[in-house]
Structure 1
Amino acid sequence: MQIRFYGAAREVTGSMHMLETEKDRILLDCGMFQGRRAEADEKNRVMPFDPAIIANVVLSHAHIDHSGRIPLLVKKGFAGNVLTTRATADACHYLLPDSAHIQESDAAYLNYKHVRGALTDLTGRDQNEIKKMLKKNGRTDDDAVSRYMDRYGLARVEPLYTSADAEQALTHFAGQPYNHRVTAARDMECVFYEAGHILGSAVTIIRAKERGRSYNICYTGDIGRFDKPIIRDPQLQFAEQDRDIDLMLMESTYGDRSHEPVADMTPHLKQIITETVERGGTLLIPAFAFGRTQELLYAIHDLYNNNEVPKVPIYVDSPLATRITRVYGEHPEVYDRQTHSDFLTEGKNPFLFDHLHFTESVEESMALMREDRPHIVLSASGMCEGGRILHHLRYKIHNEKNTILIVGYMAAHTLGRRLKEKGMEYAQNGRRGEAPVMRFMNKEYPLKARVVSLDGFSAHGDKNEMLRFLKESNLRVKRIALVHGEPEQMDGFAQTLKKEGYKVFMPRTGEGLRIHR
């Protein structure tokens, strides 16, 4: 029996691991790598195995870096089921089609750019004339782009997968309740426990048999924080038959860092909202559509209920976040006790309240970007690599009245990471001298808006919380393979675990490990 690590090995995104016995194989997650466009495209397009050999996929949660390549897996021959929790299955019904739309839009844009450049070289026409040829009513004419690509033999950029591929993949999903055993493959079964990361996230125990012996493999997925609102804490009590763990695959995103205490988050958010409104500015929050947006809405709702901040309009400017917020509303069975007592027992929806608006149309979004009166905007994408947040940034980034609030993990080489690093460096230097310049959407913008980071809103447990999960749970762990972490975080956490007496392994991409008792 062995496991092979195909993604999120010494890096954060693209989780994918194959568990193999003599009889069958399952995949633990099938996530998308996120980073520089060229590198991400290269990594995401190649499946390092034939998908037809996989019996089933066990999906820890719905975030795209864990689920985003499932449509490609199906497209290339996977015929099994995607086993996951019910809430995760419901969320994926919005997340995967949205991911497909992004793939299609990116491919269309790159093809347009390719044709425009080629026509300039081949025909000698100026750029304005070519733009008129390739656009209709201000929008790219995909049919015209396609005709010119055929005429001049230009290579097309194909999307990683299409909307139809995503819809087909969703027919393979089989949502399961927590604490319910289900067959994962021949001589393999799995059970999902609460991970506390986002709605529907799971710590999975896989029980496998080979040559008369039983093995328990624990896949943590992403471990959440303790004492956060909305969803329950990571589970610490496991069934007796699941307690002896031969190998644990454990995330390490914040393996060498400590977050601010959860209790400090709302007071800090209160201060940021108040100061921004008093300056007459906009609070702009790049937020993941799934998880972070809902946590922030919950916190702001609480502040508004208690009259602790000025009640300016709040806009969720992300169609995906709007749909995912509905999914949260449909799964109160996974809420924690605090959410029940604060909202549900009084008949209130945590995610619907006065002053909150969900922006659907492009026209509404564009009008909002030009709004000068104080307000709050939550918009995707969370790492500022695409979506409506980029348009809000180009309207707001140059004004020192405004605040950009960073509330989540920003992967290396993303615009979000650059905003956080350059903005906070500028603040530490007293905001003296020229503001740093940020380049995005083919233009340069001075970063005069204030950049503030609240790491405590992270959905990932920090070093101490992951240790708490290990030490306070009733699991008996023989060996740990660290995944889903940048090298410095992973190395730091490995040293911490070794000092605590754990045997630790840090796999590289493509590396295998034989599991034995």
Structure 2
Amino acid sequence: MHITFYGAVREVTGSMHLLSTDQDRILLDCGMYQGRRKTAAEKNRVLPFDPGILTNMVLSHAHIDHSGRIPLITRNGFNGRIYCTRATVDACGYMLPDSAHIQESDAEYLNYKTVRSALSQMRPGEDGHTSKRDLKDIKRLLKKNKHRLNAEVIGEYIKRFHLEGVEPLYTAADADQALKAFEGIPYRSPVTIGNNITCTLFEAGHILGSAVVMIRFGDGGNARTVCFSGDIGRYGKPILRDPASDFDGLGSDVDLMIMESTYGNRDHEPVIDLRPRLKQVLNETFDQGGTVLIPSFAYGRTQELLYVIHELYGAGEVPRMPVYVDSPLATNITKVFGEHPEVFDQETHETFLQQGKNPFAFRQVQFTESVEASMALMREEKPHIVISASGMCEAGRILHHLRYKIHHPRNTILIVGYMANHTLGRRILDQGTAYEASGRKGDPPIVKILNKEYPLKARVVKIGGFSAHGDRNEMLRFLKQSNLKIKRIAVVHGEEDQSLAFADRLKSNGFDAMVPRVGQSLTI
């Protein structure tokens, strides 16, 4: 058996590993790279193998950095099945079409800018610049109405003028086709995924439906076991059960553990601090008459925020200001959560379900569907909370909320999750916290949003306890308190410094650990 590491190796996104035997090739995850637009686009378009060689695939969970390139393999020759939990199947039913919509929308917008620039250069005024009237005419020509681009007209101009257009990574039709390959299986129920190869999924505690993947190849004393951690969650958090510790005897001898390291050299705030910290941020912002903007992943983080805000509102600990979930995807994923109470922890059952309450719905929460409603919300000046995608501020409606709110010190940008290098979210976090640490002295930092510069005057606050990833201590706890007997660990899914530091920590605790490089293979 051979394992080749193709993605999320010495970096966080793009999770992808290939397990090969003489007869089968099993893909573990097929994630999308996230980061600088050009670099990510180049990486995402190139698959390191012909998808036609794959037997089947196992998906640890639905986050796009683990699932986002699945439509590429199903479009290019993959004919196997994609095994994951039932909750992950339901979530991907929304996540992948949404990802396709983003790809198509981004391509349309970039093509629109290309055509608009070309037409503008054809209508120079006396001063060499296109007049405002001509610019309005060009925009009117390229749009169906005030908010929608006319992709057909834009495409015609690209062909006519031989301009360099942008193709989406994949389309909505590609995503719909990919969903036909999914097969949901319950936790702790072995399924055959290849010749003499079985797969069993266990609770990872990261997001709804997330799984630790246990793959067993062979029989008896010749059997070999590979365990893929996926993303390991935190302990004692609301909604989901803790990461599994009992692996039903399957982990008695793990030949190779493929282990994530997102927070391999970091400690989170204790989970118990989540509610009081959020209470403090909300009260301080509302006292100033401000709005709290929360860039949040649609899947997992949004629902956890709603859960804790529901608790705070129910206890009367903060003013019950309106809460807007401004993300169609987050709205749909919240429905998925409601359809899978079987994976909730005991606390959620006792606090909400047994009382006949929905943890994620209360009188003050509103789910914003239309673009028009979202644009009206951007201009709202009364105090409120906005939870909007994307979590790293690279796309989605959060960009427009930031444009309207980032320049006023009464507002707060609340960071509640991981921000990868080279993302707008990371720049806002780093520059905003540095400005706060300086006592807000001097000119505020300048950030660019949709190619326009804005002063970062809003407060930037980070609550690390909301992270869905376990920190270095929790990941070590997962390994130590389980019944796993691990021979070797390959550390992946972390920026290089995090992975190397976690590998050193593992070695100091008696584990045989290494950090592979992209394309490197190990033999079992």
Q: Shorter-chain TM-score: which interval? A: over 0.9
Q: Which residue of 1 aligns with 2:261?
A: 252
Q: Which residue of 2 aligns with 1:147?
A: 156
Q: Which digits, 9 at most, give the CA deviation of each residue in 1:388-417, with x for residues without a partner? A: 001100110011000000000001000000
Partners of 1:433 and 1:33 lie apart in 2 by 36
Partners of 2:511 and 2:457 lie apart in 1 by 47
Q: Which residue of 2 aligns with 1:404?
A: 413
Whichever residue aligns with residue 297 of structure 1, its letter is L
Whichever residue aligns with residue 112 of structure 1, its letter is Y
Structure 2 residue matching 1:140: 3-state secondary structure: coil
- The TM-score, its normalising length taken from structure 1, stands at 0.98
1:78 matched to 2:78 = yes
Please list every run of 5 or more consecutive structure 1 residues that lacks an aligned counterpart in the other structure: none
Partners of 1:162 and 1:88 lie apart in 2 by 21
Q: Which digits, 9 at most, give the CA deviation of each residue in 1:30-83, with x for residues without a partner? A: 000001111111100011101011011100000000000000110011011000
State how 1:115-514 maps to structure 2 within 5 Å: 115-121=115-121, 126=130, 128=135, 129-138=137-146, 139-209=148-218, 213-514=222-523
Structure 1 residue matching 2:218: 3-state secondary structure: strand
Offset at residue 210 of structure 1 (A): 8.6
Offset at residue 212 of structure 1 (A): 8.0
Offset at residue 438 of structure 1 (A): 0.8
Contact 2:251–2:485 (CA under 8 A) maintained in structure 1: no
Alpha-carbon RMSD across the aligned residues, in angstroms, is 1.3
Partners of 2:109 and 2:145 lie apart in 1 by 16
Whichever residue aligns with residue 52 of structure 2, its letter is A
Offset at residue 440 of structure 1 (A): 1.1
Offset at residue 146 of structure 1 (A): 1.3
Offset at residue 133 of structure 1 (A): 3.0
Q: Which digits, 9 at most, give the CA deviation of each residue in 1:226-253, with x for residues without a partner? A: 0000000000011113321000000000
Offset at residue 508 of structure 1 (A): 0.9
Offset at residue 142 of structure 1 (A): 1.4
Q: Which residue of 1 aligns with 2:61?
A: 61
Structure 2 residue matching 1:228: 3-state secondary structure: coil
Partners of 1:212 and 1:42 lie apart in 2 by 44
Q: Percent identity?
A: 63
Q: Which digits, 9 at most, give the CA deviation of each residue in 1:128-174, with x for residues without a partner? A: 14334323322322121111112122233111110000000000000
Structure 2 residue matching 1:438: 3-state secondary structure: strand
Partners of 2:205 and 2:86 lie apart in 1 by 15
1:22 matched to 2:22 = yes
Structure 1 residue matching 2:282: 3-state secondary structure: helix
Offset at residue 257 of structure 1 (A): 0.5
Whichever residue aligns with residue 489 of structure 1, its letter is Q
Partners of 1:358 and 1:136 lie apart in 2 by 26
Offset at residue 418 of structure 1 (A): 0.3
- The TM-score, its normalising length taken from structure 2, stands at 0.96
Please list every run of 5 or more consecutive structure 2 residues that lacks an aligned counterpart in the other structure: none
Contact 1:21–1:210 (CA under 8 A) maintained in structure 2: no
Partners of 1:68 and 1:147 lie apart in 2 by 30
Offset at residue 185 of structure 1 (A): 1.2
Partners of 1:189 and 1:305 lie apart in 2 by 46
Contact 1:22–1:210 (CA under 8 A) maintained in structure 2: no
Partners of 1:168 and 1:189 lie apart in 2 by 26
